[in-house]
Structure 1
């Protein structure tokens, strides 16, 4: 997760991509989703999902405010710092590829179960205070390449951000725990008030 004011993003509100084992999102059911493309210092084009938490904020600085309407809305952050519990069902929405590497033209979503932290201890950099472990290893449903930056939504609140996992797309996978960064997010958002 990061807010990187130095990068300039092009924000486009349209659907493209696929999640492993998920299904197409109902049109306009995820009005907080944004598809971000940017060119890195190396000149290479990158793409990822993002979610709108304020009309001018995607957890990164935007070039312009979004026009909020029936099709574009913000997603709440966990301001109450509620703790995630193993067994909770959350939804990931994004434009990532499936196992074939293809990117269909519709927004995808998948329901995942929050796991116990010990199930992600095989990841060298897993840190339970700042990360969430999610996705049942017995299921072929997961976030994948290109879904990074998208939200892990639990009860209409963004609790996590798609981060990383096994290169083959198997579960569990790791999500940044938003509640651990709330003071930093609030400070950064306030610094970018118009």
Structure 2
């Protein structure tokens, strides 16, 4: 799905993307109703190919994900699958909705995954029920303390040996200070990125879960963005709170109302 960068003999370069859940466990089915599976079809001069990413529902008509998931050469068509646990089964709880269009952040740059965020507008609004719900976002520049334990879920591979999973899995990871990511990742930007991971190197996200949310304190504070090849620590997430004004601006452009209130506050 994502391009693999070359490995230097002196140090390990980061993947072009991120995402398998390593060292985690299967989630309780439908316990994360905000999770979205993006089925991506790309057509260009060489033919048609498919890939997938994670995402999360922030409005009945809008989904957030990582820009690198949709930054493709060719025509990109996205099917958004909500309310799913096993992606290989047509569960009755599923809603399949095409993305009418999407907007990648104008300052996104693939080198370093700078401003790695994309907003998708759904062709029809999702039906909110027990299996499909929105997730709350942090306020502009609302932070998360170093050491906070957060959760990430997705359908990515479950080991460095490319073991696959059809069901959603989850892992708990801690927010780190910026130093490990500044040392390991080129173009790491603390203002718009978060450094996260398990210092014991037993748990991680990796290829396949890109675009999914980092769930901290009942809010989506991060988006799975970058990891290291053959290393499980550290990992880079897009800092959602930095982009909150841009997200609201795009919702207005999509002719959607403001972000809904947190489900827990209703």
Q: TM-score, normalised by structure 1?
A: 0.87
User: Given that residues 140 and 242 in structure 2 are in contact (C-alpha distance below 8 angstroms), is that contact kept between their aligned partners in structure 1?
Assistant: no
| Pairwise CA distance, 1:187 | 0.5
Is there any run of 5+ residues in structure 2 with no aligned partner, and where? 1-18, 65-119, 257-266
CA distance in structure 2 between the aligned counterparts of 1:151 and 1:145, rounded to whole angstroms = 15
> How far apart are residue 169 of structure 1 and its match?
4.5
Residue in 2 aligned with 1:38? Answer: 40
Q: How does 1:102-141 map to 2 (within 5 A)?
A: 102-121=163-182, 122-141=184-203
CA contact (8 A) 1:18 1:104 kept: no
Q: Structure 2 CA distance, aligned partners of 1:41 and 1:83?
A: 39
| Per-residue deviation, residues 71-97 of structure 1 (Å, max 9, x unmatched) | 100000002532122101000011111
In the aligned structure 2, how far is the partner of 1:44 from the partner of 1:116? Answer: 38
In structure 1, distance between residues paired with 2:166 and 2:205: 17
**Alpha-carbon contact 1:56-1:64 (below 8 Å) kept:** yes
2:95 pairs with 1:61: no
Distance 2:164 2:252 in 1: 36
User: How big is the shift at 1:48?
Assistant: 0.5
Query: What is the match of residue 90 of structure 1?
Result: 150
**1:3-62: per-residue Cα shift (whole Å, max 9, x none)?**
xxxxxxxxxxxxxx9610000011111000010011124422110011000011102222
Q: 2:248 aligns with which of 177, 180, 186?
A: 186
Equivalent of residue 141 in structure 2, options 70, 81, 93: 81
Contact 2:140-2:243 within 8 A present in 1 as well: no
Match of 1:149 among 206, 211, 217: 211
Q: Distance between the aligned counterparts of 1:169 and 1:44, measured in 2?
A: 28
Residue 160 (structure 1) aligned with residue 222 (structure 2): yes
What SS does the corresponding residue of 1:181 show, helix, strand or coil?
helix
CA RMSD of aligned residues (A): 1.6
Higher strand share: 2
Q: Is the 8 A contact 1:94 1:147 kept in 2?
A: yes
Range moving further from structure 2, 136-145 or 119-128: 136-145
2:70 is aligned to none
The runs of 4+ residues in structure 1 deviating greater than 3 Å are none
Report how many aligned residue pairs link the two structures.
Answer: 178
Which stretches in structure 1 are left out of the alignment for 5+ residues? Answer: 1-16
Alpha-carbon shift at residue 63 of structure 1 (Å): 2.3
